[in-house]
Amino acid sequence: MSAIKKVVLAYSGGLDTSVILKWLQDVYRCEVVTFTADIGQGEEVEPARAKAQKFGVREIFIDDLREEFVRDFVFPMFRANTIYEGEYLLGTSIARPLIAKRQIEIARQVGADAVSHGATGKGNDQVRFELGYYALQPDIRVIAPWREWDLGSREKLLAYAQQHGIPIEMKHREGGSPYSMDANLLHISYEGRALEDPAKEPEEDMWRWTVSPERASDKAQYVELEYSKGDIVAIDGAKLTPAQVLVQLNELGGKHGIGRLDLVENRYVGMKSRGCYETPGGTIMLKAHRAIESITLDREVAHLKDDLMPRYAALIYNGYWWSPERRMLQQMIDASQANVNGWVRVKLYKGNVMVAGRGSPSDSLFDTTIATFEDDRGAYNQKDAEGFIRLNALRMRIAAKLKHR
């Protein structure tokens, strides 16, 4: 343990990482550098500085990564229409590779020989963080306190904090939050405690970003999204940065009760886990992106993307963002978006996102002269369908004849 001289800790300033900070100082007797990422979690991150300073931390990094998060991680993921196990929009999963990347950059900058995180030994995040660390810095040392210490319960954490003068928020003294929550610009998640019985419906007051569909406005709202190469660049005509796009879509979706999910998912470490998620902006983005692709993507390109998407989603969920296979798939996905330009109009109403129009003046493959049910003036020869059908039926006709011999 004494071989480690300096460690960069992913530090939120909460109870767990504050205990980890002091534990690293006591057990490893090394210098601790703290890193706090602002990825839109909606909490004030600056108090983490004062908490770290209290324990003698000299190098403190508090970085605003919101634009990078949406531009370089969320948007590329949504170009693939990515969902895990049919429902989950990967809000937690997609944040981890960015945090790992910045943590390694800081480790290089300050000459640290180790990094540390607060993920438990039961979850996916330990895998996501550490696969990222090793992909970006193969020889880095990783300290995962939850796999080493004996502070395996909330009571032991609180006792350790009290013993070492670590501030304890009132919510922890009163029994703690009924949920384990994680938030960023894409989503907020809820797990644990009151949600550990998958038969019970979550309480209404758990949800923080969205009103219930029953209480949402009785008036539908139309929103127009402008796309350039598969990414949203404007909402209702107003040009926005990637982070601004997601902030505005979260607000719009939230007030219409859009984006709630109650899911039992399969964790990479082998167990099933129940989680609830609010992803209002992402839910709108997914629906709208498929709509713009429907008129700009070639059929076989679209179908190939759909075939590959579950594998791409699993790579992100399991922590392989920095893997060569994910990078290879990303090149293909990004290339497919060259002509995904135009606009989509969506209708938001009581938990629903409905496409109300789409167009692409420069790249639409929708040809009304061919698709019309009226007189197409010879644009499409319906007699051609006869040979097409007979050729596609050939193998089945041969098999049927064999069966009836």
Predicted confidence (pLDDT) per residue in 136-184, tens digit: 999 999 999 999 999 987 788 889 999 999 987 755 555 666 788 999 9
Give me 156's structure tokens.
Answer: 């032991």
Q: Cα separations (Å) of 172 from 49, 158, 167?
A: 21, 8, 10
Decide: helix, strand or coil at residue 331: helix
Which is catalytic among the residues 18, 79, 125, 274?
125
125 included as an active-site residue: yes
Output b/e per residue, 363-396; b: 16+ Cβ within 10 A.
ebeeeeeeeeeeeeeeeeeeeeeeeeeeeeeeee
Between CA 14 and CA 20, with CA 17 as vertex, the angle to 5 degrees is 145
- DSSP β-ladder status, 238-239 and 231-235: antiparallel
The one-letter amino acid at 22: K
What is the H or E stretch that residue 278 is in? strand 272-278
Spatial distance between the Cα atoms of 371 and 13, rounded to a whole number of angstroms: 59
Extract the residue ranges of the chain whose pLDDT is less than 70: 1-2, 170-177
Which is catalytic among the residues 16, 38, 182, 231?
16
At residue 177, the pLDDT reads 67
Q: Is 319 left (phi over 0), alpha (psi -120 to 50) or beta?
A: left
- Residue 279 makes CB contacts below 8 A (sequence gap 6+) with 89, 91, 186, 187, 259, 261
> pTM, whole model, 2 decimals?
0.95
Between CA 315 and CA 251, with CA 353 as vertex, the angle to 5 degrees is 85
DSSP per-residue letters across 159-220: HHHHHTT----HHHHTT--SSEEEE-SS-EEEESGGGS-TTSPPPGGG--S---GGGS-SS-
Spatial distance between the Cα atoms of 127 and 269, rounded to a whole number of angstroms: 9
Spatial distance between the Cα atoms of 146 and 152, rounded to a whole number of angstroms: 7
Spatial distance between the Cα atoms of 398 and 381, rounded to a whole number of angstroms: 28
Query: Residue 397, Cα to own-chain centre: how many angstroms?
Result: 47
Spatial distance between the Cα atoms of 93 and 106, rounded to a whole number of angstroms: 21
Which is catalytic among the residues 66, 79, 96, 128?
96
Which is catalytic among the residues 63, 71, 141, 180?
180
At residue 173, the pLDDT reads 57
16 included as an active-site residue: yes
Spatial distance between the Cα atoms of 20 and 160, rounded to a whole number of angstroms: 10
- DSSP β-ladder status, 141-143 and 114-116: parallel
How many other CB atoms are found less than 10 A from the CB of residue 94? 26
Decide: helix, strand or coil at residue 118: coil
